[in-house]
Amino acid sequence: MKVLVIGKGGREHAIAWKVKESRLVKEVFIAPGNVGMEEIGKLVDISEENIDELATFAQNENIDLTIVGPESVLALGVVDEFEKRGLKIFGPTAAAARIESSKDFAKELMKKYNVPTGAYETFESLELAKSYVNQKGAPIVIKEDGLKAGKGVTVAFTKEEAIEALEIAFSIPNNKVVIEEYLDGFEFSIIALTNGERVIPLEVAQDHKRAYDNDEGPNTGGMGVYSPVGKIDSNVVNETLEKILKPMASGMKQDGIPFKGFLFGGIMLTKDGVKTIEFNARFGDPEAEGILPRMKSDFVKAILDLMDEKEVKLEWDERYTVAVVMASEDYPKSSTIGSEIEIPQNLESIVFHMGTRKVDGRLETNGGRVLSVVAYGNTLEEAKERAYLDVKKIKCKKMFFRNDIGSKMCYNNENK
Ligand code: AMP
Ligand code: GLY
């Protein structure tokens, strides 16, 4: 069969790489993809946002299954368009993708279906928001409504920080802001495959959201993950499934907006059990790079079986993976385009490309996050050592990375 993957980052590289391994798949197409994916499949020169052209391409090429990576494309209604034309696609409709694109919408659903999450209020006026912060005190979390790729969030440890974040948020006309209770605990990412009814969790990963070591610096899209996460055992996974993921899926179905695709929960394990930080309507990046290399099952078969309402049982490699993101020097403030990258041939790690390009045969940076370097190990420590060994062999003058991916669990255990 022929599979089309939509997107151009590290997540889509990992998805396409795993799709290519499927014994059901003869050809992989990636639109628009990046140079790192050239060996995996055919790059299709159609922008991700051009959903009309993408659907026409899928029709003309007789694509059997399309898998969508980025949230922005889902929010534009790519799934609605494909389904209107009778094309098979794995992802939520624009209406269902609002669980990510509107924090307010996600919070309303959680309230309605008793899904545990932090207390919150939504504000459309700076004055009311400020007085709420003054009343509640810090720590407190300020979230702008809408798609911000993890960047419209301020975890404020003082009232002043919170008020500053509000002033910035409300300097944008018609902005809406969610002010949320600060959740203290151990954060993890869980992604489930769902057909709107059944929810099948993948293995858990832990992301590192802050730009610099020891969780310092600004929030980013994610600087690296490891999987599995020792502290999140099968009891916690089951609790997350029963209290958060399943009620969300069944609630959305009941409301007439069934969610099909990758249902991603950013979850905090608190002393009162699991609580939802956010939902995303897609696979995580770099979660995909850390999790998919551990999947032993046929990924495409699992998706098709789920869509056809057949039994799905996933098998996993027991080894650990550590994925280290190499980013442009100023990320997340800006990205450096055009700095040369040299990747040696004989690396043990898998190198997924997040933001690269080739100019006259030269590999260059082309985005905020540039590469995701993934190594396996029998222990977390071993996976970490192997990943960093390779990261250090990759040469580029204008990239940086965190040195402590996979260490977070250690200091969290000490602290809690
Ligand atoms: P989000 O975009 O909602 O995932 O937020 C980005 C990051 O901010 C999360 O991954 C958390 O690390 C942190 N965060 C968000 N909401 C909260 C909360 N209520 N309590 C504590 N930390 C939070
Ligand atoms: N790495 C977190 C995300 O994809 O949102």
Instruction: Say what the pTM is.
Output: 0.94
Ligand 1 mean position, distance from CA 191 (Å): 17
Cβ–ligand 2 distance for 187 under 6 Å, the answer: no
Task: Quote the pLDDT of residue 416.
Answer: 35
Which residue, judged by its Cα, is nearest atom 10 of ligand 1?
A: 209
Backbone angles phi, psi at 66, to 5 degrees: -115, 135
Is a pLDDT exceeding 70 seen at residue 349?
Answer: yes
E strand map for 17-160:
27-32, 42-43, 65-68, 89-90, 120-123, 140-144, 153-156
Specify burial of residue 352 (Cβ count, 10 A radius: 0-12, 13-18, 19+): buried
**How far, in Å, CA of 113 to CA of 109, rounded?**
6
The tens digit of pLDDT for each residue in 351-390 reads 999 999 999 999 999 999 999 999 999 999 999 999 999 9
Q: What is the pLDDT of residues 289-318, one digit of tens each?
A: 999 999 999 999 999 999 999 999 999 999
Atom in ligand 2 nearest the alpha carbon of residue 225: 1
pLDDT > 70 in the chain, percent: 96
**What is the mean pLDDT of the segment spanning 278-294?**
98
Domains of the chain: 2-91 (3.40.50.20), 119-181 (3.30.1490.20), 186-307 (3.30.470.20), 320-411 (3.90.600.10)
Q: Is the CB of 118 under 6 A from ligand 1?
A: yes
More confident residue, 147 or 264: 264
Burial of 292 (0-12, 13-18, 19+ CB in 10 A): buried
Task: Give residue 95 CA to ligand 2 midpoint distance, Å.
Answer: 20
Any atom of ligand 2 within 6 Å of the Cβ of 100: no
Task: Tell me the average pLDDT across 38-64.
Answer: 97
Q: CB under 8 Å to 56, separation ≥6 — which residues?
A: none
Q: How far is the CA of 150 from the centre of ligand 2 (A)?
A: 7
What is the distance between the alpha carbons of residues 70 and 11, in angstroms, rounded to a whole number?
9
- pLDDT category at 415 given cuts 50, 70, 90 is very low
What's the CA gap between 316 and 312, in Å, rounded? 13
Mean local confidence (pLDDT), 172-197: 94
Indicate the SS3 state at residue 409. helix
Instruction: Give the pLDDT mean for 144-170.
Output: 83
